Amino acid sequence: MRLYTCLLASAACIVPGVALARQEVPPASAPAPEQTIAPKEAEEIIVTGSRAITNGEQAPTPVTVLSSAQLKDAAPNLNEALRQLPQLTASGSPATPNPTIGGGPSTQNTPNLRNLGANRTLTLLNGRRPAIFGGSGLVDAGVFPQSLVKRVDIVTGGASSAYGSDAIAGVVNYIIDTDYQGLTAEARQSLSTYGDAAARAFEIAGGANLGSRGHIVASVNYNSQDLLQGEKRDYARAGWSTMPNPNSGQPGEPDLLFRENVTITTATFGGRIITPGLNNIQFDAAGNPIPYTPGSLVSGALQVGGDGARYAQPLSADVKNVSGYAHAKYEIFDGVEIFAEGSYGHAKSRSPNLYFFNLGGNAYRIQRDNAYLPDSIAQLMDENGLTSIQLGKLDRNYGRNVTFFESDTYSISTGLNAKLWGNWELDVYGTHSVSKTRYGAENSRYQARSRLATDAVFGPDGTIVCRSTLMDPDNGCVPTDPFGEIPLSEAQRGYLTGTSIARATTKQDVAAASMHGTLLEGWAGPISAALGAEYRKVSLDQVADPTGMSFGWSAGNLSSSAGSYNVKEVFGEVQVPLLNDVPLARDLSLNAAIRRTNYSTSGSVTTWKVGVTDEVFDGFRLRGSLSQDIRAPNINELFGGIVRSVTTISDPDFNGQTFLNIFTFSGSNTALRPEKARTLTFGAVYRPDWLPGLGMSVDYYRIKLSDSITQVGFQTVVDQCDAGNALFCGLITRDDAGVLTEINAPLQNVQSGRVSGIDFEANYDTALGDGFLRLRAIGTYLDTYQFTNPGAPTVEQAGTPGLPRWRGNLSATYSSGGLSLSVQERYIGKTTRVVLPITVDDNSVKSVFYTNATLRYAFDEGTFGNPEFFFNVNNLFNQKPRVGRTNSTNLGFNQAYDGSLYDVIGRYFTLGLRIRY
């Protein structure tokens, strides 16, 4: 479907607050900015977020428009530049690897508005739903045709009435230049100031006419980034963490302490005996017993210093993306154009994560007759009357687990655009996409085999064998030495480790038709309308490895799942001018939209939007909108399978008596309903006549979520039933005596939330000397961020880890002749380390400024290839990331830095060349 968007090139683009959309830089002799803008009546402007508005200034919902050139001035990688925007800070990227073993795809480029989750942000490509991957239904923007992206439109308000599900936080719409003509190629190489984390990219795109009625464009892109281990940075090795305060509860004492060089007390890399009486003994790398030195401050499982273990988080995953794209269109008759589009994307990422942890109740249990037990330890066990000891260990013998994700995504679309009567147009399209993914973890450990292998004894012939082999000679068990850091032999690795993996095929079929045009001439101007219908089907078939299905891995057990759903929708929108050229209402318009959606799994739901804009006087416009939006449950939430486990419950029906080994069931739920959100926005836009080229906007937003999908804790289920909540009583099974036997608590629509804040944006364009100056500021203030679960108090999270109240970007670009210099200052406000009512002795995380600079030089037109060299520096002053994580070392894995918020790599250089024909 052809989707128009704000095409105005400077501050006159009022829709979002005055975004610059033009890619080319005006020459020094260019007229003043307001003169370069085409008159409003000269072109049709239909805004992302609306299907009926034909005047961008009448859009009631804020939209930010960024050209590809502007984004590349902020960062050489388009998706990284988007992630630096205040509203998209939490978006997924290679710098956000998931520390969970087998955690799946976490290093993809997944836009995330308002930090409400990528699944609540609708990502579009040319206004159409692109291919999704896996059961999450997310979109990887990293495989989009980067070299043909003309601009990106960001709707920072609910847009479900225009586009359907997932637009609770807004829409990120990548606009492809399907009219591009010529040939362009770009190559770039990036490297950190430390000589690591290298990235490289090559992009080529071309376009040509097909006779006098057709046009074709195509592109191929390759980009990659190398792995960056945390051990490569001193700040990642420092071991900052919060830990329990041993004096907590005493007057004036906080709950937590914030300290450097925090390690765990329960294990070392060579192994520590944690059995009382012998817990002053550890083992060196060769397996020899040596004294264990505790830290200077010990509290529970954490300590400051000492011989405990700790290792750093990976700072960036190893990522590779390859994509191809082609779009052809042809005008078969006057006013009737058909198109066909195809794309392919391959994404691959790898990230080392955890060492296998044997802590607490999962520590190795070593029997007195263990064949690897040193004689000195055996003697001490005899002296203390011990038949076994427990060994706490972060087992580097195995090496680190490595999570991986690979996808191959195919998509093909075809459709037509036809001019009908008057200015009415018809858009019809169909899309079929398939994404094949495989993800999991290499070097996973078989849990049961690990126990058998460490329980080693001397066999009848004096050789070391597994105790289990004496009873079952054909069980294949290979004994291993649990003491020290001795790498596994090939035979041991073959017996103890394997790859946990799930393979999934996700398919999406979309068919849609819409019309838009002038409905009739109203009393204050033409009344525009749009209407249409859409059908969508999504299916998933995921098959996991047998070991994971039976929960046989020590971590990272994946599950098989399959299912499908379809969606049928009809929608309509109307734009009605109410008043024109009267005092305080030079242009007062009403915009209203409604969409009726039927899900095969949950029935029908209605989304709607009502918006008003009012040009109070020349250059000053007010706008506001109220909408109801939805997010439908994804395939994993509906059909992802059920996990059976056991837990311990304190039962109010028996005066709080504790019951052990209660069977529990959690996971997907086919009865889930769509999440709902009520979104309110209102703001103002000012473009003064007294200073041409200046535009400013401010917008307030408030999103109230209800029926949000969440996993409720099993104890909460029991407590809520006791409080009289019938929903939760239906999840509990008791025997004839009233004793708990099982709790069936799959995902439920029981969470609520509230997010609110203010967005700011300003632009100024002007000729300056022999060149042209552009200034731009984008900022956001987060006022409220609250989510409430049943039985739990509402906690304000604005200003807490990952959610700074203030974020902003200020950029300046000066161009003269072929030379252009851009500087961006990015601000991330202060946060806290913990959320009240928890307290910590140092709860302030300082704000940070990041400076990026880009220098470009384009040779004069006519030079062979019209080459342009560019040099970019991100984080010019090499600011270190702020420590915002809490209790981040409990498994020895020190994850102190949030890669979705802060720069974790350091100063980063990029050198590139672009040629055009």
Q: How far is CA 657 from CA 313, 479, 646, 714, 728, in A?
A: 40, 43, 17, 15, 19
Give the torsion sign (CA, 856, 177, 812, 818): positive
DSSP assignments along 595-621, one per residue: EEEEETTTEEEEEEEEEEEEEEETTEE
Q: Distance between CA 241 and CA 263 in Å, rounded?
A: 9
Q: What is the pLDDT of residue 105?
A: 46
Q: What is the pLDDT of residue 77?
A: 80
Q: Are 314 and 301 in contact (CB under 8 A)?
A: no
Q: Distance between CA 566 and CA 535 in Å, rounded?
A: 7
User: Whole-structure pTM over 0.85, yes or no?
Assistant: yes
Q: What is the pLDDT of residue 5?
A: 33
Buried (b) or exposed (e) across 292-306, using 16+ Cβ within 10 A?
bebbebbbebbbbbb
For 105, residues 6+ apart whose C-beta sits below 8 A from its C-beta are: 133, 134, 136, 138, 140, 349, 405, 407, 437, 439
Q: What is the pLDDT of residue 518?
A: 93
Q: Are 856 and 208 in contact (CB under 8 A)?
A: no
Give phi and psi for 5, each to the nearest 5: -150, -175
Q: What is the pLDDT of residue 557?
A: 82
Q: Are 642 and 648 in contact (CB under 8 A)?
A: no
Q: Distance between CA 615 and CA 517 in Å, rounded?
A: 23
3-class secondary structure for 252-298? Answer: CCCCEEEECCEEECCCECCCEECCCCCCCEEECCCCCEEECCCCCEE
Task: Name residue, tokens 């195509």.
Answer: 218
3-class secondary structure for 569-590? Answer: EEEEEEEEEEEEEECCEEEEEE
For 68, residues 6+ apart whose C-beta sits below 8 A from its C-beta are: 23, 78, 149, 150, 151, 152
Cα 305 off chain centre by: 34
Q: What is the pLDDT of residue 558?
A: 83
Question: Token pair for residue 64?
Answer: 């930010």
Q: What is the pLDDT of residue 54?
A: 58
CATH pick for 33-230+316-352+404-442+502-633+672-711+746-829+847-881 out of 3.40.50.720, 3.40.50.1470, 2.40.170.20, 2.40.30.70: 2.40.170.20
Strand bridging mode 561-582 / 585-599: antiparallel
SS3 category, 140: coil
> Using omega within 30 degrees of 0 as the cis cutoff, is the peptide bond preceding 837 cis?
yes
Q: Which residues in the chain show pLDDT less than 70?
A: 1-47, 53-58, 95, 98-107
Going by C-alpha positions, the residue among 544, 602, 608, 542 that lies closest to residue 571 is: 608
Q: Distance between CA 776 and CA 821 in Å, rounded?
A: 14
Task: Sort 604 into a burial class: Cβ within 10 Å, 0-12 / 13-18 / 19+.
Answer: exposed
Give phi and psi for 40, each to the nearest 5: -60, -35
Q: What does the domain layout of the chain look like in residue ranges?
A: 33-230+316-352+404-442+502-633+672-711+746-829+847-881
SS3 category, 189: strand
